[in-house]
Structure 1
């Protein structure tokens, strides 16, 4: 999977990233910065792409 490929994320994670990006854009950030911050936030919360069952980290 190439860097930047978002196909391994769940629909919920993608929606979260869109929401964070919109919020950052409202604060005056550039599109690129807002997108970078959004995906960093999703990764920090969820640890990255799809994770389910026994492969999931315990929180």
Structure 2
């Protein structure tokens, strides 16, 4: 079975969903980069990285 999601994981998944919705609405390829950053930050969270590193990865992508 899957483990329940905690608040940080929910935050990154919600961020990905919102940014994808904005990208689909605008089709300007502007927010797609932030989606990539959120995916990298989510992967970093899953590997045990702290929030400061996740935010750095999110903004650097």
The alignment's TM-score, normalised by the length of structure 1, stands at: 0.47
The structure that is helix-richer by fraction is 2
**Relative contact order (C-alpha < 8 Å, sep 6+): which is higher?**
1
The alignment's TM-score, normalised by the length of structure 2, stands at: 0.46
